[in-house]
Structure 1
Amino acid sequence: MVKPADKLEETVSMTARRPLIVIPARFSEHATALRYEAEVTARALVRAVYAAGGEPVVIHPSAPGAEVDIDAVRERLWFADGVLLPGGGDVAARWSGQQPHPSQYGVDEEQDAFDLAVARVALADRIPLLAICRGNQIVNVALGGDLIQDMADTTGTHFNRVHELRVAEDSPLGEIVGSATTISCYHHQCIATLGSGLMPAAYSADGVIEAVTLRDHDGWYLGIQWHPEDSAATDPVQAALFARFVGAAATRVRSGVDEVRLAP
């Protein structure tokens, strides 16, 4: 059952300011009106965060030579009330001890190294964390899991697919989205072996893990394989995901600590 929107808005409105939601930028070879390479994020994504009451803050992913000091990343996240790891290109196979697939695309190991560090800091410091598509895969790898490198070899890719989501009966995700909902996907990789502590929260009809939660985690974490920002402006179920995430960040703002769980 979706929590009523007015209650979610009330949670955020009780804070003195909008919770600051950190989103690592994505590297792009070009963007309209820019002459050189760019760092970008999806407009629909920042709109969804803003509509939920958050203040999206896009940060520069810096990990020269695909190496980064995790304490330096922690210092950069000092102001974060929440972290959102967005979609993007493939995660380099080497991070999970696998071999690259010929179909891989958009791999940037500097991006990988930075995102992996952000994931580890957010989880360790109990900063509310929403991981979407690639972000979900990043967290799985950060926790020791691995990926199906190309779903065409197994179930078939989920490029540009809209399909039903089956939520696990015992998952706290159901309290947000109900037992089933329609989702928008764009991915050809997905979770294979689950990382330490991760639990499946939802599946597609072909058996792909579409969402995960984290066992015995003192903070708020949700990893989802689909793109809720695609339809958040018109679908209250997808909007509720952002509202619950921003609500967790708002609780952190009010209390000064992040002792909040996905489950009520």
Structure 2
Amino acid sequence: MRKPLIGISTYWLDSVVWNDSRESPAAFLPTHYVHMLQASGGTVLMLPPDQPTVAEHVVAQLDGLVIAGGPDVAPEHYGAVRDLRTGPPSVARDNWELALIKAAVATRAPLLGICRGMQLLNVSLGGTLVQHLDGHLTPGIFGAHPVNPIPGTLYHSLVPERSTVATYHHQAVHQLGVGLVPSALADDGTIEAIEAVGTQWVLGVQWHPEMGSDTRVLEGLVKAANRR
């Protein structure tokens, strides 16, 4: 049986030192994403930054889309003044992923945003972000904390119980974008998951499911992609 084709955006670095000491740009993705999507029943297609004008064509070839984690979203996209603690912009990636998200929403393609991907989903629909959460960032180290699903949401249908998730972020949703609702909260009230109102499979999670062993969120995406 054909496995659904899941596109996932990739990281972009302007300069990487390779084994022969040459420096050149690189598009890459941690293998945790690939392995977890494959374990959840999908076939993975990596999507490095491209011209935003081709995003609609690309999404039309896919059964589902994942926007991966990565650098901070440029605050200019949501009309905010840059906080000194916000990381440097990733212009090509921001523009590409915003176009992918808009194409997926417009064509009702199943969409999962992970960490930065959730934040970018919110921004794409007119929402804003908190640029820094005190105490939420230890450089180079993943943390863990519990999240609480909100009954009646898509996320609650996938993971109905309070669960501990792997986290690595210092930004969060502030004002929700149009057509989005919260679907999980941290104990301090921080929005940890968001989703689209209605029947379209659109979900964003603040944490990194690919770093854990619970495949239910990714399996939910793959099942929705399979139905598509």
TM tier, smaller: over 0.9
Q: Deviations 1:144-193 (Å, cap 9, x if unpaired)? A: 000001112xxx32553201111112323122112200101100111000
Q: Distance in 1 between matches of 2:69 and 2:7?
A: 14
- Are the structure 2 counterparts of residues 184 and 31 from structure 1 closer, same or farther at C-alpha, using a change threshold of 3 Å? farther
**8 Å CA contact 1:91, 1:134 repeated in 2:** yes
Number of matched residues? Answer: 222
Letter in 2 for 1:225: Q
**What residue is the counterpart of 1:189 in the other structure?**
171
**What residue is the counterpart of 2:71 in the other structure?**
89
Unaligned runs of 5+ in 2: none
**8 Å CA contact 2:12, 2:48 repeated in 1:** no
In the TM superposition, residue 31 of structure 1 has moved relative to its aligned partner by 6.1
- 1:163 and 2:163 are equivalent in the alignment: no
**8 Å CA contact 1:88, 1:106 repeated in 2:** no
Q: TM-score, normalised by structure 1?
A: 0.80
In the TM superposition, residue 107 of structure 1 has moved relative to its aligned partner by 2.0
Q: Distance in 1 between matches of 2:26 and 2:158?
A: 35
**8 Å CA contact 2:144, 2:164 repeated in 1:** yes
**8 Å CA contact 1:158, 1:185 repeated in 2:** no
Q: How does 1:1-264 map to 2 (within 5 A)?
A: 16-28=1-13, 29-30=15-16, 33=19, 35=22, 36-63=24-51, 68-69=52-53, 72-152=54-134, 156-159=135-138, 160-216=142-198, 218-232=199-213, 238-252=214-228
In the TM superposition, residue 33 of structure 1 has moved relative to its aligned partner by 3.8
In the TM superposition, residue 137 of structure 1 has moved relative to its aligned partner by 0.5
In the TM superposition, residue 110 of structure 1 has moved relative to its aligned partner by 1.3
Letter in 2 for 1:171: T
- Are the structure 2 counterparts of residues 187 and 46 from structure 1 closer, same or farther at C-alpha, using a change threshold of 3 Å? same
Letter in 2 for 1:249: A
Moved over 6 A (4+): none
User: Higher strand fraction: Structure 1 or Structure 2?
Assistant: 2
Letter in 1 for 2:40: A
Q: Distance in 2 between matches of 1:31 and 1:247?
A: 39
- Are the structure 2 counterparts of residues 203 and 62 from structure 1 closer, same or farther at C-alpha, using a change threshold of 3 Å? same
Q: Distance in 2 between matches of 1:90 and 1:116?
A: 13
Q: TM-score, normalised by structure 2?
A: 0.92
**8 Å CA contact 1:120, 1:142 repeated in 2:** yes
**8 Å CA contact 1:48, 1:242 repeated in 2:** yes
Q: Distance in 1 between matches of 2:57 and 2:19?
A: 32
- Are the structure 2 counterparts of residues 190 and 31 from structure 1 closer, same or farther at C-alpha, using a change threshold of 3 Å? farther
Q: Distance in 2 between matches of 1:180 and 1:106?
A: 34
- RMSD (Å) for aligned C-alpha atoms: 1.5
